A and B are shown apart, each in its own frame.
Chain A
Amino acid sequence: MYDRKMAIVDLSKGKVKEYTIPKKWQRGFLGGRGINSYLLYNLIEKGIDPFSPKNVLVLGVGPLGGTLAPSSSRFNASGLSPETGILGDSNCGGFFGPELRFAGFDHLVLRGKSKKPSYVNVQDGEIEIRDAKDYWGLDTYEVQISLRKDLGDVESVVTGVAGENKVRMACLRTGVKNAAGRCGMGALMGSKNVKAVVASGVNGVKVEHPQRMLELMEEIKDYLMGSKITPILGSQGTPLLYEVSNALGAIRTKNSQLNVWSDSLNAEELEQHVEKMISCSSCFTHCRHRNKFDGEGPEYTAVGLLGANLGLDHYPDIIKLNNTCNELGLDVSSAGSVLGWAFELYERGIIDKKMTGQEIGFGDFELANDLLHKISRREGFGDILAESSQAAKKFGPKSKDYLIAVKNLPQSDPHDIRYIKAFGLGIATASRGADHLRSRPTIEIFFRLPQEVKEQIYGKGATTDPTVYDGKAQAVHFSDNIFATIDSLGLCKFICHGFNSPHYLKYEHFSKLLYAVTGSEFKEKELENIGKRIIDTERLFNFKHGVTAKDDTLPKRYFDDPMKQGVSKGHRIERKGFDKMKKEYYKLRKWDEKGRVKPQRKKHIESHGGLP
């Protein structure tokens, strides 16, 4: 294992301290999300406000980041979430992660608060806190263009106007659309008076066995390109999923009051608005669109949550809302969920014009666009919506019955989980709240996967019927572990075994890639155990910040209201079945009956040591 560096940037004192990342951390948590989570567990005190200078924002890249390894563009941004008050962690593609490594650092911790608007410049092993007065107030596109104009060919991760105004659902942005979208990491950066972290470096990333790496990449390229899924994602991108979810009767529509929406949002209707497909660093898949409205996207998430969830069915409107979120630095998932929630509350008379200042409701593009701008500037009713799910404090207790969120995080994707039960368990137990990217066992959608294949993937006891409760804990447990591992390596989930296909990269591939890059051997089982260790560390962090087993639950609507339309008509999550899945999941995790990590395990995790 070779030396990798991290730095703590104390914004209050204007000082930077560099460290060599302890070998024990690299062995125990790899990097990226894993080391970020361990840092959070060590650095963030119990009971602090997420906007306190005592909170930290950690940017971290995995050991495969920025190498030839496929889709090795990812980095994680982590901190105590302003949106949820628990673990905030968001994984992001683009080109920033690799560039941070080229600049000499794998992890960067921002602590304290700058006295004036600043940005952090990381260049060829040097870190400097600089004045950002010329950049403050710019949207996410403008600031990146200005930084490049002033500094040359740099990559930056920035916060937008929403983050400057501490909108709890503000994201970090790099490039036009890439987002560390979830958990309000943009608000956290803004609260520290930081506009951007900028990286540039010419040194590349050391690869211990370059010849082996080249050979391995030839094999992996053929393996990935041989999948049916890779070319589909490369030509259609994720909007393809809309039609699939709609066919299953599982598109969150009008705040999940309905579950089927218009065919006008099928992927082929998007094609006329797409200029070309593009990719992140080192990617074969190129799953994203440059659209003809001067932006990038939309992803499936935006199609669903800014479309069906808001009662909109005209693609240009949805693309424009997507671009608005991108420019302002708003998380598409939370923004679409919170708007849909408010519209339903207004329809039901739970909130009224005295609060909103105007009539609000579904199916109104101009209104939705206007509200996104107001949220980003905390103007009028936008100031309340900017609180995300915490707006329930203003809306009143009854409003919580209609909030599609878990642990205060609005659900990330447009898939109504009442039909596929494992998806429900996944978002209920995910460490950052209602999110499909932590543990979604996507293979559950393959209805015809033979039992033995399913058991090979998910483990003994896995079942083929997605609508039963038996065997679903295994599916979520498997997915949770492997996704934590891949997030900590620096690779994208789109090529991860179990996310899109049973034929993508497995622990054996990770092991070979790690050996080629770092020269260290990691056995497959060890890599799975690292995933488990990360999940337990995040669990310890969350329990330290007030989470209990009762928070591993689902929105009331998913339990109480049967779905109304299509294939999934009549389905809901039964509480008894849900409790059974949850109990089985805790058992697989070796947590106690109250969902707590056992003392011996805590001791093991803490044995990796504090800051060197």
Chain B
Amino acid sequence: MEITLKLLKPLKDAIGKDLLTLEVEEGTVTSLLQHVSKEYPELGKELLDDKGGLDYRVNVILNDKPLNELDVEVNDGDQVTLFIPVSGG
């Protein structure tokens, strides 16, 4: 199935692209992100923490829904957006 991954700054800088179209097997957001981290190790460095899990600072939006749990199924045609929240004035 086809999933679109949207990356915001600075994550997109890791691979020089803000949109990736991925052909993946059925699975969850977790398995999708593990797959992406293997395919794009530079992005993986930004996404994963020391234990190999997704760094809690990385926010995930599945289509229009922000996720606090990643064991959520992804479906053909879904868009997953990843970003690191920063604040300021």
Beta-carbon contacts of B55-79 to A below 8 Å, as 1s and 0s? Answer: 1111111001111101000000000
Within 8 Å CB of B68, what residues of A? 447-448, 464-465
Min Cβ gap B37→A in Å is 16
Instruction: Give, as a whole number of angstroms, the nearest-CB distance from B48 to chain A.
Output: 12
Give the size of the chain B interface in residues (CB under 8 angstroms).
Answer: 25
Q: How far is the CB of B11 from chain A (nearest CB, A)?
A: 10
- Known A-B contacts A268-B9, A447-B68; the reply to A244 vs B57 at CB < 8 A is no
B15 adjacent to chain A (CB < 8 Å): no
Cβ of A529 within 8 Å of any chain B Cβ, yes or no, is no
Inter-chain contacts of B10 with A (CB < 8 A): 232, 235-236, 240
- Do A300 and B89 touch (CB < 8 A)? yes
- Whether B58 pairs with A448 at a CB distance below 8 angstroms is yes
**Chain B residue at minimum C-beta to C-beta distance from A444:** B85
Minimal beta-carbon separation of B57 from chain A (angstroms):
6
Q: Which of B8, B54, B65, B81 has the most CB of A within 10 A?
A: B8
Within 8 Å by CB of B59, from A229, A237, A287, A446, lies A446
Whether the pair A233, B64 counts as a contact (CB closer than 8 A) is: no
Are B87 and A442 in touch, CB under 8 angstroms? yes
Name the interface residues of B44-60: CB closer than 8 Å to any CB of A: 54-60
Residues of B within 8 A of A450 (CB): 56
User: A499 within 8 Å of B by Cβ?
Assistant: yes
The answer to whether the Cβ of B84 comes within 8 Å of any Cβ in the partner chain is yes
Bound together, the chains give a CA A243 to CA B61 distance in angstroms of 14
Task: Tell me whether chain B's interface is mostly helix, strand or loop, or mixed.
Answer: loop
Tell me which residues across on chain B come within 8 A of A499, comparing CB atoms.
87
Chain B proximity of A571: nearest CB distance (Å): 11
Q: In the complex the two chains form, what is the Cα distance from A238 to B70 in whole Å?
A: 28
CB distance from B51 to the nearest CB of A (A): 13
In the complex, the answer to whether A229 meets B86 with C-beta atoms within 8 Å is yes
Supposing A235-B10, A244-B8 touch, asked if A299 and B88 sit within 8 A by C-beta, the answer is yes
B67: A residues at CB distance < 8 A: 447-448
Mark out the residues of chain B between 1 and 33 whose CB falls within 8 Å of any chain A CB in the assembled complex: 8-10
Query: How distant is the Cα of A569 from the Cα of B65 in the complex, in angstroms?
Result: 10
Residues of B within 8 A of A500 (CB): 86-88
Q: Is the CB of B86 within 8 A of A449?
A: no
Which residues of chain A are within 8 angstroms of B87 by Cβ–Cβ distance? 241, 440, 442, 445, 499-500
**What is the interface of chain B, defined by CB distance below 8 A to chain A?**
8-10, 54-61, 64-68, 70, 81, 83-89
7 A-B pairs in the complex with CB atoms less than 8 angstroms apart? A228-B84, A247-B61, A300-B88, A412-B89, A499-B87, A567-B65, A567-B66
Known: A235-B10, A447-B60. 11 other contacts (CB 8 A): A232-B86, A248-B61, A442-B87, A448-B56, A448-B58, A448-B59, A448-B68, A448-B70, A500-B87, A500-B88, A569-B64
In the complex, the 4 A-B pairs of residues with the closest C-beta atoms, listed nearest first: A238-B88, A445-B85, A442-B87, A447-B66
